Structure 1
Amino acid sequence: MRRFLLTIFLLASFVALGVGAWGLWWVHQPLVLPAPSVDLSVEPGTTPRGVAQLVADAGVEVQPQLLYWWFRISGQDRQIRAGSYELERGVTPKTLLSILVRGAEATRSVVLVEGWNFRQVRAALAKADQLKPETLGESDEALMARLGRPGQHPEGRFFPDTYTYSKGSTDVALLQRAMRAMDRQLTAAWAARAANLPLKTADEALILASIVEKETGKPGDRPEIAAVFINRLRVGMPLQTDPTVIYGLGAGFDGNLRKKDLQADSPWNTYTRGGLPPTPIAMPGKAALLAAVQPAPSKSLYFVSRGDGSSHFSSSLDEHNRAVNRYQKGGKQ
């Protein structure tokens, strides 16, 4: 009897060792996926057993009970996080659990570019991969109300940056992040403003920064360009900047700014109206915000493009006209 029990014990031990060895081998084997990648959405409150079933339901060739027991044996079953995941070919039970425990959600990104207007922002978000377009078809006014800013014009209120988001996130959530980022950047810039600027509010600084952003070809010229507009505001001289006129023309602008456009009055025509336009005309980046509140110490009132991205600055109209003749009309100084 004793020999029989010993034999049974040895057989059970060998079986256990065999099962353990097989299990150790199995957790390192790639799972069979129905496609190069599989989306897996784990809602909050889903049990480990439920997660294993979701994996199988997504088309992964695995026994959910076996996967569940792997979760349990690992001791990490209660650490699995809710989220949107993307499983790729080559994933093993071991790496799958690691992904779920780390909360390594599938992410995408969208770039909001310095100098874009809000129309371009909305177009980019509408095309962004796996971003839910909750605001599609909504007016700008309705969108801003949804963001908690009813009555505020959306232009320039979102900070240009690269935004990463989880698959299934909404455009509303991303816009809220971009709006808060601009709030922080504008607050910091306004707090660091130079003394005696002809700007009464942070919003005016934002408007000026948007003009600086659109007028700058060479990044290092931003403070000097800002100084030109600050100096014009100080002496009551019209800003006379083409980008504001173009903004006022809206989507109808065909790329060719005509003399009649400069003469057609609109709230954004800085040739026909003095001071700043009523709203920003684009999204300024951090450098443009700082340039607007910390302009270069300059007496320049004019600038003209040299044709290489940089600008020539002048403090008198005669000097400016010579620069225009040299750089724009092909003449000589």
Structure 2
Amino acid sequence: MSSKRPYLTYLCFVEVWIAVICQAVSIVLMAHLIYCAYSKSWFFVLRSELSKSLLVYLYTHVIFSSAGIGYHIYLVVRWHAPGAGVEPHYDPTWLYWTGLWSLNYMTIAPSAVLLLTLDRCLTLSLPFYYTRAVQDRVIGVGICVIAMCYSASTCAFLMELPLQEKQTANCETFSCVNVKHLVMPQVFAKVVISTINLIGSCYFFYLLRKARRYKSIKDRVVKYTIVLEILFDMFPAYFTFFFNLIMRDTSANYIGSFGGTLCPVDAALCSIFYSFVLLQRRSSPWEYHRRNTQTSPDVVVVKRLSQHGGMNYPMKIHVKNESINDT
């Protein structure tokens, strides 16, 4: 509350600006990756086909981040420096109904990472038994779990109604509005999912070390996603849970919604990394032909002098190896 902690107003302002920028970046870049997965972009092409679990991860962030960005936009629009006669400047009702979707998004974000990790672990450990049919069932169960977590989180937030008007009059964050449960059900669920994800991550890194020679671009994507998940989601979730449990007060009243800021930062960094690793610039037909004829050791180009202008241009292309194995 700003009346007791004046610094909180400025801290929250910085946090929400970071969150808005990062959410905008992640939504645009991840939506572009989804577009490239289904359509032909004019400028970029995917280096590798996106796995179904990664598509679920991208869809989860694009859909639910788009639904929750309104909360941070509201905080930015309604913010002003503390002054006499102008407080409170946030309506608790608006904080509640806009922040509900934002906190739901941050609650289920680890579930998408868990599905991504599980899918990759099964692919590496059971390559002959983890068929497309089995993978489709695993992805379907993962989507159902994400939907159930989102619905359960929404129901838990609705139990906060009616709002405590006297205790929420000076609130500047959504967590401050939740007086009854202190966002503990959502934080507890996030801690449980993060713990399971940590165990799965250890097994994934073990599989990577065991199959060191067979690392692929998909392994790099999952590894980078897990590391950022641990730094920006898992550790803050543990801190928030134990702080709220011990102090019987929400940490947002002291350091703002740092969890609501770090989750979009995590998504933005992942989207930037995915764009660099998974996308490459689409070459023109002549550039594609020149690159393949000049760099491939299996292609021999026979040139003939043109009668007009004396220019050399390829006339015949002979391939030494008629069958090239796909590696």
TM-score norm. by structure 1 comes to: 0.21
Q: Relative to total residues, which structure has the larger helix share, 1 or 2? A: 2
Find the structure with the greater CA-based Rg.
1
Relative contact order, higher structure (CA 8 A, sep 6+): 2
